Structure 1
Amino acid sequence: MSFSQTEKDDYELYSLILTEQLELGIGTEKDKIVFIEQFMDEFDGTYHIFDHENDSITKSDLSLLYSMTSKDTTFLKRVVKEKELREVVVQLTSDKTANPKIKVDLLRTSSIEIETIPNKKYNSYFKKLRLINRGWNGIERKYGTNKVVEFSKVNYHEQFASAYCMRPTNHIF
């Protein structure tokens, strides 16, 4: 989606993800979201997609990508065929350091209202795993929505750009 490596282009990519992938701010009503200010590596560097040293893709890699990309089979076919695309996807799981604090003012539009929350505060709503619904209820009471979004930094490789986007909802749990 983006061909250069500037902060301005990072935010254009983030905006495209919000509108085209997450379909926020495109309806007649204003969407309200809670935005986690800074992506934190929840995998602690222990999770990698693909065996990038041998450039191999397992069925479990493809299954994970299938579920994480809202069943985008076109993307999966491209990942299998295009080594450059695989390399940029690998960066998402192998390079999660120095993620910037997102400047939400650059993402606000007349059709998207954004509240911010630090990662630590977001996680505090879910202290006990068995009380997940209570956490979502708390977020909805405090912020007036259960739509939560988080972005990683944008990684670039040749003509490709990638960013991790998390959109947890109470429907997942």
Structure 2
Amino acid sequence: MSFLSINLSFAQTEKDSYEIYSSTINRLVENWFDPPIEAIIVVERYSEKFKQDFSDIMDLTIEKIPKSTLSWYVRDSLLQQRFLNDQNIKKVLRDLFANFNNHPKIKSELLNVNGVEIHTLNSKKYHSYLNRGQKWRKNGWKRLENKYNSKFAIQFSKISYQGNYASFYYEYLCGDLCAAGAIALMENAEGEWKVLKEFNLWES
């Protein structure tokens, strides 16, 4: 019985993860500021080419959150109270930061995206277009764009779960000077995962 429960739990988590990944892609594509995106590149497994700095966001996970940090990162007063009082919100973020490794391989066939073609690349091949060692490769994005007819590439970290909450990191690239990275905090409300808060870490 316990073996069956473990398997059911794992299957549910995988289902949730792909619902979250898919909804994130759909939201970004639907709200894109350029002409409609027809194809995207999904990096199969997130690779931390440059170490992410989560130190500022980590202050939101401590017992006594500094007022300055809370007011800066969480403007909504009701959501501020949830950060102060709901330990599951703190834990889902804390667990993501503490164990930021072992990211899953994304299976494109399990993504449910609306009206866009998906190309998958492994991390090594993806970065070979963009970087030469630690340096940005000149015209690297243009080569990638021309090869796959895509103006948008995205990669996801693993997802941390706690209660009705989930958190993960994602970053996207849309040009030589067009990119961003963010932490997403999601909440499962009535069986549907919705964005509770996003923390933009960097952009160009």
- TM-score for both structures, normalised by structure 1: 0.71
Q: CA deviation at 1:168?
A: 2.1
Mapped to 2, the partners of 1:154 and 1:130 lie a distance apart of 29
Distance 1:156 1:143, change over 3 A: same
**Counterpart among 10, 16, 23 of residue 29 in structure 2:** 23
Higher relative contact order at CA 8 Å, sep ≥6: structure 1 or structure 2? 1
Look up the match of 2:194.
none
Cα deviations by residue, 1:22-63 (Å, 9 ceiling, x for unpaired): 13499x966310000001234558754324455535857986
Code of the aligned partner of 2:58: F
**Counterpart among 96, 101, 107 of residue 97 in structure 1:** 101
Q: Is the 8 A contact 1:47 1:93 kept in 2?
A: yes
Distance 1:168 1:93, change over 3 A: farther
Look up the match of 2:152.
147
**Counterpart among 116, 131, 156 of residue 127 in structure 1:** 131
Look up the match of 1:50.
58
Structure with larger Rg: 2
Q: CA deviation at 1:96?
A: 1.9
Code of the aligned partner of 1:23: V
Matched, 1:117 2:121: yes
Mapped to 2, the partners of 1:76 and 1:8 lie a distance apart of 27
Name structure 1 gaps, 5 residues minimum.
67-71
Q: Is the 8 A contact 1:35 1:114 kept in 2?
A: yes
Local SS of the residue matching 1:163:
strand
Q: How many residues are matched?
A: 161
Distance 1:62 1:154, change over 3 A: farther
Mapped to 2, the partners of 1:140 and 1:85 lie a distance apart of 38
Larger strand proportion of the pair: 2
Root mean square deviation, CA, Å: 3.6
What is the percent sequence identity of the aligned residues?
A: 29
Mapped to 2, the partners of 1:43 and 1:131 lie a distance apart of 12
- TM-score for both structures, normalised by structure 2: 0.62
Local SS of the residue matching 1:153:
coil
Mapped to 2, the partners of 1:79 and 1:159 lie a distance apart of 13
Look up the match of 2:46.
39
What does 1:6-17 correspond to in 2, within 5 Å?
A: 6-17=13-24
Q: Is the 8 A contact 1:50 1:58 kept in 2?
A: no
